[in-house]
Structure 1
Amino acid sequence: MKRILFFALAAAAAACGRETDFDATGTFEATEITVSAEASGRILRFDAEEGDRLEAGRPVGEIDTVQLWLQRRQLERQRASVRSGRPDVEKQLAALREQIAKQQTERRRVASLLEDGAATTKQLDDIDAQLKILQGQLEAQLSTLENSASAIDENASALDLQIAQIDDRLRKCRIASPVTGTVLAKYAEAGEVVAAGRPLMKVADLETLYLRAYFTSEQLAGLRLGDEVVVTADFGGDARFDYPGRITWIASESEFTPKTIQTRDSRANLVYAVKIAVRNDGRLKIGLYGEVRLAGE
C-alpha cells in the first residue's frame, strides 16, 4: 500500500509552472559516513569508485598485510614451543601411583597375616609409614606439575591474545563500508601509502534522504514524530514532484532562521529544525531544494 501511495504521489506531481503553498522549506541531505584507514601501509587494492553502490562489510580494498602476517606466524611458532613443554601430569605420576597401589596391596596381605598371627604389628606399621611417605611425594609432585602446567597455559594464553590482536589488525587492513550505500567521494588510490585515520572515501545511503526543514514555534505545536507530510522536490523550472514523507526528528532547541531558508511566517526569527524521511526513487539528490506541506493543509 505504501509503495502504491509513493508512486501515485510521484506520478501526480509535475506541477507545471504553478505556485504551491507550503509550510516550510529546506534541502535534502543524507547520513554521510567517512570511511578512514584503520591501518598504516601501502594500499594494494581499492576497487571502489564514485557512484558505486557498496554492501555493508564487503571488502573493496586492502592495505599491505605482509609484516602482520609474518608476526602472526612467529607467534604461532612461539605458542607451539611453549605448549610442547607442558608436562603430562598423569604419565609423570603413573610410576608413583603404581608404587602406592603395590604398597596398599602389601598392607592388605600383611593385615591378613597379622590376624592369623603370621605377621607382626611392626611390619604393618612400616608399610603404613611407607604409604604415608609415598602419598606425600604424590601430593608434592602433583602440586609441582600442576603449577608448571598452569604457568605454561598462562604463557600460551598470552600468546593467544597477541595472535588475536594481530588478527584484529589484519581485519582492519581490509577496506569496507560499514553501511550499505553509494560512494560519494574517493580520497585515495591503490599504490598510495596511508596512515591510520586517513579518509579513504565518503559513503551515504541514498535510498532514504532527509529533508531538513525549519518550522516556527507556532507550527511546532502541531508536529509529532511519525507524522506523515507531503514533500515537494523542486528541480527547477516546472519540474516539481511530490513525495510522501515522515517526520523522524524534531530539534529540542530553537535557532535563528538560516538565510537560505524560507518559512511561511517570514517575520519569525527563531525556528526549529525538523528532519523528514523521504524514500528516494532515484531522482532526489543531496542539496536539492524541497518544500513541506502539512497534513490537512
Structure 2
Amino acid sequence: MKKKNLKLVLAISFLLLLGFGLFVYVRHHLYSQGVLTIYGNVDIREVQLAFYDTGRILKMYVQEGQRVKKGQLLAELDPVRFEDAVREAEHTVELDKAALENAEITYRRDEALAKEQFVSLQERDNAFAALKEARNKLKADEARLSLAKRELQDAKLYAPQDGVIEDRILEPGDMVTPQTAVFTMALDQPVWVRAYVPESYLGKIFLGMKAEILTDSYPGKVFHGWIGFISPVSEFTPKNVETPDLRTKLVYQVRVYSENSDYRLRLGMPATVRIPLKQSYPPEKPPLTME
C-alpha cells in the first residue's frame, strides 16, 4: 500500500515538474527570444450612412457585400421638391437683380439732380436707402438659392470612404430623415487587432512598433502591422480571451493596425500578434494613423 502511495506521489511530482518545465520553456521560447505574443480579434470601423434631408428614396445603386469607393453614388431621393425650390430661388434672384439695377439707376439720377438742386436731398437719400435695401435683398436671396442648390445636391448619398456595404437597411420608396440610416458600411482598410498586453510588458512596447499578424484562415501568411493604440487604462482580462486563472490579472488593451490591402482580414477573425521587442525608440518612421 505504501509503495502504491509512493508511486502516486512520485507520479504527481513528475507531472508537476514536467508542467513547470514546460511553462519555463514556453516562457523562455516566447520572451527570451525578444518576441511578445498576444492574442485577439480583428476589428473594423462601421458607419451608418444617412441623407442630410427628409424625403422618399428614389433609387439605390449598391447591394450588400458590394465594395464601394470614396465618392461613389449610393442612393438618391426623389429630387422634384428640391428642383422646384431651386427654380423658385433662381427666379427670385433674377427679379432681385432687375430691381437692383433700377435702384442703381434711380439713385444715380437723383444724386445728379440733387447737385443741381432739382430734387431734394431727402429724395436722394430715399433713393440711396432703396438701393441698399435692393442690394441686401439680392444677397439674402442668393444665399437662399445657394442653400436650395445644396439641398438638391444632398438628395444624393455618396460613400464617405472606401469600404464594403454591410447592410442595406431601406429600399426605394421608403421615407427617410437625417436620423434614418440607409446603409451600414464597413471601413475595412486599415483594420486592427484588438488584443491585451500584461502589465509586466507594458514598458516594453510603444506606439509605432512593427508587428506581425497571423490567422488560422491563412496558415503561413504574415500580415504586417504596427501598434497604433495603447490604452491608458488597465482592465481585467476579458473572459473570452484568457483561461479562468488569468481572468483576474490586469491587462492593457492595444490595437495593432494593418493596411489590409488584400482585404483578407475580416471582422471578428481570431488572430495571433507577434511583436519583436528589440526595436529602436522612437520608431524609424512615425506610426501610420487612420483618417
| TM-score for both structures, normalised by structure 2 | 0.74
Note if contact 1:216-1:268 (Cα within 8 Å) is conserved in structure 2: no
Change (3 A) 1:90 1:286: same
CA distance in 2, matches of 1:164, 1:282: 41
- 2:249 equivalent to 1:249: no
Note if contact 1:25-1:262 (Cα within 8 Å) is conserved in structure 2: no
CA distance in 2, matches of 1:174, 1:96: 50
Question: What secondary structure does 1:31 align onto?
Answer: strand
Equivalent residue, structure 1, for 2:89: 75
Equivalent residue, structure 2, for 1:195: 177
| TM-score for both structures, normalised by structure 1 | 0.72
How far has the Cα of 1:226 moved from its partner?
A: 0.3
- 2:212 equivalent to 1:230: yes
* Aligned residue-pair number: 243
Change (3 A) 1:98 1:146: closer
Letter of the aligned partner of 2:144 in structure 1? Q
Equivalent residue, structure 2, for 1:163: 145
CA distance in 2, matches of 1:99, 1:169: 47
Q: Percent identity?
A: 22
Unaligned runs of 5+ in 1: 1-18, 101-130
Equivalent residue, structure 2, for 1:89: 104
Note if contact 2:237-2:247 (Cα within 8 Å) is conserved in structure 1: no
Instruction: Select which of 26, 33, 40 maps to 1:26.
Output: 40
Equivalent residue, structure 2, for 1:118: none
Instruction: Select which of 186, 194, 197 maps to 1:215.
Output: 197
Letter of the aligned partner of 1:250 in structure 2? I
Which entry has the higher C-alpha Rg, 1 or 2?
1
- 2:276 equivalent to 1:286: no
Letter of the aligned partner of 1:216 in structure 2? P
Note if contact 2:49-2:182 (Cα within 8 Å) is conserved in structure 1: yes
Question: What secondary structure does 1:219 align onto?
Answer: helix
CA distance in 2, matches of 1:36, 1:273: 32
Question: What secondary structure does 1:199 align onto?
Answer: coil
Q: Which structure exhibits the higher relative contact order, with contacts defined as CA atoms closer than 8 Å and separated by 6 or more residues?
A: 1
Equivalent residue, structure 2, for 1:239: 219
RMSD: 2.8
Runs of 4+ in 1 over 6 A off after TM superposition: none
CA distance in 2, matches of 1:157, 1:99: 28
How far has the Cα of 1:79 moved from its partner?
A: 2.5
How far has the Cα of 1:183 moved from its partner?
A: 1.2
Identify the range of structure 1 (56-65 vs 77-86) with the bigger mean alpha-carbon deviation. Answer: 77-86
CA distance in 1, matches of 2:143, 2:110: 37
How far has the Cα of 1:90 moved from its partner?
A: 5.0
Unaligned runs of 5+ in 2: 1-25, 31-35, 279-291
CA deviation string 1:60-84 (max 9, x = no partner): 2111121121122122222322332
Equivalent residue, structure 2, for 1:174: 156
CA distance in 2, matches of 1:272, 1:60: 39
Change (3 A) 1:91 1:162: closer
CA distance in 2, matches of 1:268, 1:256: 6
